[in-house]
Each structure stands twice: as C-alpha cells, then as structure tokens.
Amino acid sequence: MKWLADENFPMASFKLLASKNWDIKHISIENPSIEDFKVIEFAINEHRLILTFDSDFGTLIFKEGYRPIGVIYFRLPQFHPEAPAQILLNLQETGFHPFEFHFTVISDDGIRQRSIPK
C-alpha cells in the first residue's frame, strides 16, 4: 500500500512510518502549500491513500466527486506527534481495516468508515 501524508500530518509520524519502510510521501516535501483538490489529484495519480487531519477531504469526495483510493482522517484533539503513526502501526499488527475505497475517521472514540462511491 502507498501513502500520502497531507501537510498537517505530523512530520514525526511521517518519519516513523518511513523508517518502517512504508511507501509514504509527505505533501510538504513533494509540493508544499497546494490546495486540497491538488493533494487529492496527486494521491489519485500515484494511487496513494491520504493521511490527514483535514475534514475537507470528505467534502471533496462526497460532494465534489473526487475518487481517491482512500482517506484516513485523524480527528484527535490532543496527541503526541508520533501518535498517528503508532495508531497505524498498531492497526497493521492487528490486521488493517479495509482502508482502500473508504473514508476512515480515527478518533478517540474509535474508527468509523464510509465507502467511497465508485
């Protein structure tokens, strides 16, 4: 699986995942300060799942019709910069949820998913 970290995804988490040999790119390294629709187009073109703290991706998918292979939206009010990576690594150990073709919300209350229409 290939991943794309949005600008708001902590660099510490990005580096931790990269150190675990994840195929991951960070938008602030690839193409900083681009608009969300350009981030989603980048992800679509490279077949990457988006990691973000920005709820606007839900609007782009469910109202604007963009179809990335998946988005993981972290909705964590307070967290350590490596926490998102630790969550993903723990999910990998226990068996990933089907992140592909889903808009996934990870919050303190758990994980919710909604299918991305084809």
Whole-angstrom distance, CA of residue 51 vs CA of residue 42: 13
Q: Which of 54, 53, 46, 44 is CA-nearest to residue 25?
A: 46
Read off the pLDDT of each residue in 77-98 and give the average, rounded to a whole number. 91
pLDDT digits (tens, 9 = 90+) for 1-27: 999 999 999 999 999 999 999 999 999
> Strand, helix or coil at 103?
strand
Read off the pLDDT of each residue in 26-34 and give the average, rounded to a whole number. 94
Residue type, position 77, single letter: P
The answer, yes or no, to whether residue 96 has pLDDT greater than 90, is no
Read off the pLDDT of each residue in 98-113 and give the average, rounded to a whole number. 94
> Strand, helix or coil at 8?
coil
Ranges of beta strands (E only) in 27-76 are 49-52, 71-75
- The residue written with tokens 């973000």 in the block is 52
Read off the pLDDT of each residue in 75-91 and give the average, rounded to a whole number. 95
* pLDDT for the residue numbered 57: 96
pLDDT digits (tens, 9 = 90+) for 38-64: 999 999 999 999 999 999 999 999 999
